[in-house]
Amino acid sequence: MNVGVEMSSFTMLPIDATLKIGTFDLLHYHQIRVSYELKNDQVFFTSMYESGKEKKMFEKWLAPEKQVYTDFILLYHQELQKMNDCLAFEGHILEEKMIDYRRFKKYIYYIQYDQLVNEVKIIFEPNHDLFSFSYQIPLPINSKGFLSMPESLETHLKKETLKRLWEPFRDKTKYRLDLLHMLR
C-alpha cells in the first residue's frame, strides 16, 4: 500500500456550485483511469472500466487507498477556494505579448502574484469576449514531486475573484486600451 497519491495526471472540472468531476491515472496500477465526483465535500470514485483486469485493478486500489486520494482531492479543492477567498492580489507582470491573427488579436500575460506560488497565464481574446486563466496548483500528484498540468481555472473561480486578479494590472499593461472592457 502506498502512503501518498501516485498519479500521472489529474483533472478537476466544475459542473455547478456543489459538484466537481474529474479523472486521474494511477501510476502503480498500470495507469488505469479513475473518475470521481466531489459533491458537498464528499468524494465518490468510479471505475472507468466495466470488466476485465482494469476493473479488478480498480477494486484492488480502492479499498486500501481511497482515503488518501479523497484527502488529496479535498485539499486540491481547498486550494481553489483559497483563491476565491483572497480579498486582494498583488504581483508583477513577467511577460506580455499580443498576437495579431488578422481577424482578431490575442493578448497573453504571464503574471507572478505574491499570493500564489506558481505563475499565472492569462489569455484575452477581446473580439470573442473570451479569456482563460491557467494556473498549476502546487500540490504534488506523485512521490517524484510532479504537478498536474496547469488548468484553466476561470470556471472554478468566482467572477469577482477574476476581477481582483486582473485589476492590479489593468492600467499597467501596454495593451490597456484594447482590454478596457475585459473583466469589468
In whole angstroms, give the CA distance from residue 131 to residue 124. Answer: 4
Residue boundaries of the structural domains of the chain: 7-85, 91-179
What mean pLDDT do residues 131-137 have? 93
What's the confidence (pLDDT) of residue 1?
A: 46
Please, which pLDDT band fits residue 178 given cuts at 50, 70 and 90?
Answer: confident
What's the confidence (pLDDT) of residue 59?
A: 93
3-state secondary structure 68-112: HHHHHHHHHHHHHHHHHHCCCCCEEEEEEEEEECCCCEEEEEEEE
Cβ partners under 8 Å of residue 162, min gap 6:
131, 133, 154, 183
Q: What is the pLDDT of residues 46-102, one digit of tens each?
A: 998 888 899 999 999 999 999 999 999 999 999 999 999 999 999 999 999 999 988
Exposed / middle / buried, residue 61 (Cβ in 10 Å: 0-12, 13-18, 19+)? buried
% pLDDT > 70, the chain: 96
Cβ atoms of residues 166 and 148 within 8 Å: no
| 183, pLDDT greater than 70 | no
- 125: number of Cβ within 10 Å: 16
Model confidence pTM above 0.85? yes
What mean pLDDT do residues 162-177 have? 88
Lowest mean pLDDT across 58-62, 75-79, 109-113, 172-176: 172-176
Chain length of the chain: 184
